[in-house]
Chains A and B, each alone.
Chain A
Amino acid sequence: MKNLHSIMLDKEKCKGCTNCIKRCPTEAIRVRNSKARIIDQRCIDCGECIRTCPYHAKYAITDSLEEINKFQYKIALPAPSFYAQFEVDDVNKLLYALLELGFDDVFEVAKAAEIVTYFTKQFILSEKNKKPIISSACPAVVRLIQTKFPDLIENILPIASPMEVAAYIAKKKIQREKGIEEDKIGAFFISPCAAKMTYVNSPLGFERSYVDGVIAIKDVYGLVRSKLREIKDIKPLSIASGKGIGWAASGGESLALEIEEYVNVDGIHNVAKVLEEIENGRLKDIVYFEGLACSGGCVGGPLAVENPYVAKNRIKRLSSKLKDKEESLSAWTEEIINSFSLKLEDVLFEKELETNPVLELDSDIERAMEKFEKVNNILSMLPGLDCGACGSPTCKTLAEDIVRGFANDTDCIFILRENIKELANKMVELSNKLPPSLERNDE
């Protein structure tokens, strides 16, 4: 499985501490030569290491704002969480500020989220699905499932993410309205999230992405703020309702579905815990599972600026403010769906999600069993302190790394010390032994 991740390491800043390796949910980081190293195929881009690193040595690659100039017509696709970054009571101001940055048009991902909700409701009613249906909106969670919970892949909602739907509709709309060819239109996601960048490079469930670039919220934050001060007249650009905007915070997606039997979980480690329970067949009565890698949901994304709890409150305020206009705003959703005659089939995954078998010890089960025994044997010799000094997150991972041939038992400082002690004892012993020419046993 192709999984070129977007999270990178600034070697200058990395101190080779073990904070990141401990927090990584897929054990994708090792410390080698005093620097963290990310194992490409294991990384799910959840951004946990970006948040954990005390030296800010982890960062996500995203596109710069200049990238948009490669296209004749530039569309900004602001994530719902973008709205929560600024203390602004009118969404239109924010969208207008994006135009001021050089975009020709905006299409709200929040509106696309409502369209996704519309089709998800249809999917829930269809017979084919496996319960609980697991949201596919968070690409890091989808990759977590592909890597650690392969048996839950069939529960994943096979519907395009709001970002993707937004890019698709925005491009079709401009093509139709302005007669501009599709490849001359650039759609750029204004993102709180590193995993979306990876998604654009290697999409989940689709052959290609309609998104041309991902720009970090933090990279436009300052610019937008300064533009906001200048804006005088407000143009009506926003068509998203509170339900779509609500997707920015954990639980918003489920709330929009208007069902009672849902569970929403945020934080990648919490998500993993609940996925375990789903695996055990414990959450059978739950219809929908919304799992988001970041604490608080997308508002807590590693590329967002505002404190996630403050941001969450803003989302709540914006959503309830738009409540009065709910009917006219949901009419917009239907108008878009009808004008492009969109059907459930149009937003369904084109291809099945694959498992990412990087955690397997071997592709051959018998050989994997042998390796498993070896891992256990080595593990019994390790101290079990999970100190991380060897560069692997736990003693168990070190044991696996040894069996896979990536590490040695002497990487463990305790084993090394033990060996040195033995050696030292032997040296003392040898130093006490005199050569026969000097031996005086006859005394």
Chain B
Amino acid sequence: MLLELEFEIEPGNFILAGEASSKIKETLKKLGVKPEILKKVAIVSYEAEMNIVIHSVGGILKAIISKDKIEVIAQDNGPGIEDIELAMKEGYSTAPEEIRNLGFGAGMGLPNMKKYSDYFEIDSQKGKGTRVYMIIYNK
């Protein structure tokens, strides 16, 4: 059995930011997913959601939950990442000053997503968009 949760993420809307990952988290709690697993999914989905809010022109956040694993997919419609290797470095950020002033965009988003997921895959094309695919095993 699969449970699919999909949320549309509005770019630049910091009031709504975090709501989608909250809902994913809440669902996992209802399903009785273990605290260690929940924690990982909470962090990666929140970071993914924030990245869409901060950097993209909008996109979706998706969680596919099955007995053995939780897949988190963040897909946006642009503008894409110029240098993925650089973006994956801790502390590297292209977030503008005003976003950093809000306490976001510290350059930890992608590194954290990689750190807390068991499988991490990122695809991005300049001018097109970015897709991050993560798996957290439920064991």
Least CB distance from A245 to B in Å reads 33
**Interface contact A369-B39, CB-CB below 8 Å:** no
Could you say which of A280, A282, A357, A372 contacts B27, with CB atoms under 8 Å apart?
A: A372
**Interface contact A280-B35, CB-CB below 8 Å:** no
Question: Using an 8 Å CB-CB cutoff, how does the interface string of A249-284 with B read, 1 for contact, 0 for none?
Answer: 000000000000000000000000000110111100
In this assembly, does B117 line the interface, its C-beta being within 8 Å of a C-beta of chain A? Answer: no
Q: Which residue of A lies closest to B104 (CB)?
A: A282
**Interface contact B31-A280, CB-CB below 8 Å:** no
In this assembly, does A360 line the interface, its C-beta being within 8 Å of a C-beta of chain B? Answer: yes
In this assembly, does B87 line the interface, its C-beta being within 8 Å of a C-beta of chain A? Answer: no
Complex Cα distance, B35 from A355, in Å, reads 9
Complex Cα distance, B33 from A348, in Å, reads 28
Stretch at the interface among A70-78, A146-154, A291-299, A307-315: A146-154
Question: Using an 8 Å CB-CB cutoff, how does the interface string of A307-329 with B read, 1 for contact, 0 for none?
Answer: 00000000000000000000000
**Interface contact A372-B31, CB-CB below 8 Å:** yes
- With A151-B38, A280-B18, A280-B42 known as contacts, the answer to whether A363 contacts B3 (CB < 8 A) is no
Q: Which residue of B lies closest to A281 (CB)?
A: B43
Which residues of the other chain, B, contact A230 by a CB distance below 8 angstroms? none
**Interface contact B22-A368, CB-CB below 8 Å:** no
Name, among A150, A153, A277, the residue most crowded by chain B CB atoms within 10 Å (CB to CB).
A150
Question: Using an 8 Å CB-CB cutoff, how does the interface string of B12-52 with A read, 1 for contact, 0 for none?
Answer: 00000010011001010111110110110011001100000
**Interface contact B32-A369, CB-CB below 8 Å:** no
Which residues of the other chain, B, contact A279 by a CB distance below 8 angstroms? 25, 39, 42
Could you say which of A151, A153, A281, A362 contacts B32, with CB atoms under 8 Å apart?
A: A362
In this assembly, does A438 line the interface, its C-beta being within 8 Å of a C-beta of chain B? Answer: no
**Interface contact B1-A369, CB-CB below 8 Å:** yes
Complex Cα distance, B31 from A276, in Å, reads 18
Complex Cα distance, B35 from A151, in Å, reads 4
Q: Which residue of A lies closest to B3 (CB)?
A: A369
Complex Cα distance, B31 from A366, in Å, reads 8
Which residues of the other chain, A, contact B29 by a CB distance below 8 angstroms? 148, 150, 359-360
Question: Using an 8 Å CB-CB cutoff, how does the interface string of A359-383 with B read, 1 for contact, 0 for none?
Answer: 1111101101110110000000000
Which residues of the other chain, B, contact A368 by a CB distance below 8 angstroms? 30-32
Least CB distance from B110 to A in Å reads 14
Complex Cα distance, B82 from A218, in Å, reads 65
In this assembly, does B125 line the interface, its C-beta being within 8 Å of a C-beta of chain A? Answer: no
Q: Is the interface of A mostly helix, strand, loop or mixed?
A: helix
Which residues of the other chain, B, contact A280 by a CB distance below 8 angstroms? 18, 21, 42-43, 46
Least CB distance from B105 to A in Å reads 13
Within 8 A of A (CB), among B99-133: 103, 112
Q: Which residue of A lies closest to B49 (CB)?
A: A280
**Interface contact A150-B67, CB-CB below 8 Å:** no
Which residues of the other chain, B, contact A154 by a CB distance below 8 angstroms? 35
**Interface contact B46-A282, CB-CB below 8 Å:** yes
Which residues of the other chain, A, contact B47 by a CB distance below 8 angstroms? 281
Complex Cα distance, B100 from A82, in Å, reads 44
Complex Cα distance, B98 from A138, in Å, reads 37
**Interface contact A372-B30, CB-CB below 8 Å:** yes
Complex Cα distance, B65 from A372, in Å, reads 12
**Interface contact B112-A366, CB-CB below 8 Å:** no
**Interface contact A359-B30, CB-CB below 8 Å:** yes
Could you say which of A277, A355, A361 contacts B30, with CB atoms under 8 Å apart?
A: A361
Complex Cα distance, B79 from A277, in Å, reads 28
Within 8 A of B (CB), among A107-163: 148, 150-151, 153-154
Least CB distance from B113 to A in Å reads 11
Complex Cα distance, B24 from A372, in Å, reads 12
Least CB distance from B21 to A in Å reads 7
**Interface contact B21-A365, CB-CB below 8 Å:** no
Complex Cα distance, B42 from A363, in Å, reads 20
Which residues of the other chain, A, contact B42 by a CB distance below 8 angstroms? 151, 279-281
Could you say which of A360, A363, A370 contacts B1, with CB atoms under 8 Å apart?
A: A370
Complex Cα distance, B105 from A152, in Å, reads 24
Which residues of the other chain, B, contact A372 by a CB distance below 8 angstroms? 3, 27, 30-31
In this assembly, does B138 line the interface, its C-beta being within 8 Å of a C-beta of chain A? Answer: yes
Name, among A153, A281, A360, the residue most crowded by chain B CB atoms within 10 Å (CB to CB).
A281
**Interface contact B31-A360, CB-CB below 8 Å:** yes
Complex Cα distance, B43 from A361, in Å, reads 23
Could you say which of B1, B32, B67 contacts A361, with CB atoms under 8 Å apart?
A: B32
Which residues of the other chain, A, contact B138 by a CB distance below 8 angstroms? 365
Complex Cα distance, B36 from A276, in Å, reads 15
Complex Cα distance, B67 from A277, in Å, reads 26
Q: List 14 A-B contacts (CB under 8 A).
A: A148-B29, A150-B29, A151-B36, A153-B35, A277-B18, A281-B47, A281-B112, A359-B29, A361-B30, A363-B32, A365-B32, A365-B33, A366-B1, A372-B30
Q: A368-B32, A369-B3 are in contact. List 4 more A-B contacts (CB 8 A).
A: A277-B18, A279-B25, A280-B43, A360-B29
Which residues of B does A touch, CB under 8 Å?
Answer: 1, 3, 18, 21-22, 25, 27, 29-33, 35-36, 38-39, 42-43, 46-47, 65, 67, 103, 112, 138
Closest 6 pairs between A and B when the two form their complex, measured CB to CB: A151-B35, A360-B32, A280-B46, A151-B39, A281-B43, A150-B35
